[in-house]
Structure 1
Amino acid sequence: MSNGTLRDHLSVRSAKPLSFTTRLRAALGAAKGILYLHTEADPPIFHRDIKSSNILLDSKYLAKVADFGLSRLAPLPDTEGDVPNHVSTVVKGTPGYLDPEYFLTRKLTDKSDVYSLGVVFLEILTGRHPISHGKNIVREVNRAYQSGKIFSIIDGQLGSYPLECVERFVTLALKCCQNETDARPSMAEVVRTLETIWLMLPESDTKVAEPPMTNVVKMTSPPSSSSNMNNYYTSEVSGSDLVSGVAPTITPR
């Protein structure tokens, strides 16, 4: 992708630091791509390795979720028609992004992707790596949030930003990173919250950066042999299509 990965632009040495509006748009685009995998792909897919270096940015800084090398197909209905809510599997993923409940139980769920995306949101807000000098980003942001010092750890390259929007984004990120699976929002709830935050932005900001109209989920490495996924998934989704809570119909190509 012409603008590399999201991680490239969150580095302290980034030549092109991203504004809060651009970062929020990237977060929304990535969330919609993952929502597609969870609800529209047939069968649904658990990504299992969501991280800022697997979110690519095109020439317009629209986000594309990439790298399906660790992805797993969601469970299928059993003989009685019931659908298990998890896949039992060997723990794989990237340290710092791993769902702690998945790590302990080896039960992979859609909420495992929610946790990993929450860590990406914290990276977007702070510019920090998930694990740096022995410090975990979730623990550090939680500590700052609980002590009322959350703005002290916001990325200095973020520039000016609406305080209420950032507060809501922080709250969403920390909800995604709850230790207990049931305490985390669904990906549909994540998308709706991000869209609400987007609508709160000053009109001057949103005119400069329109919300993502197209999300392309591209496979950049082969899936497991049991997978039978297409190479490209394209969804044409406007910035408010999911506010109603109804996921759009998206056709693989």
Structure 2
Amino acid sequence: MRLKHLTAGLLALCATQVWADVEQSIRQSLDKLNFPMAVSAISETPVNGLYQIQLDNGRVLYGSADGKYLVQGALIAVNDGQPRNLTAEVEAKAIGEVINGIPREDLVIFAPEQPKTHITVFTDVDCGYCRKLHEEIGDLNELGIEVRYAAFPRAGVDSKTAEVMGSIWCADDRQAAMTRAKQGKSVTPVTCENPVAEQYQLGAQVGVQGTPAIFMANGTLVPGYKPAQALAQEAIANQ
């Protein structure tokens, strides 16, 4: 019995050392590349010898045990002819945690009294489809959807749009200022410490390439405008 316990202990110790070597090799490879995003976790995948590299922004890479090969792309599991995007599932969960971690006080929120779920929209006040979506804010609220706006001025943080969005976030009534801007009306210039630049950077990190970029509560991304009824159904299905 003691021999059995000793053998099991040695095997566990060996496995721990092997895993430590794998993690060290992968991290060293990324360090040599001056990889711009920090690694939050490294774990095994269903594919022998392939390891999942979870980045701080929620995105995923894959690497070989020796760290000599890195792969960017979707890992698809095929069971009985049914494809399942494992990469998308992992990324959505992690990105959802990042997006849902934005403090409420840093967002412009339009909420019903009893929301069924929420969406986070990276928006640009000069974007045509962002304005169209905002016209349906009332409909979304009536359907039980809380809309949380984050800033993503497409022209960059030094643009006139970013300046206007900064004034919105600094306004006494952010909702009214957002609505004025989305209607093409002027917004009173105000300056204060605001999260516009930080949210723009976060949006870029999680894969926002255009606006509106709509994230469901579970982290699933809907790129672009959808009518209120369809968007509400998708939001409820992806809580």
TM-score, scaled to structure 1: 0.22
Greater strand share, structure number: 2
Larger Rg: 2
Could you state the TM-score of these two structures normalised by the residue count of structure 2?
0.23
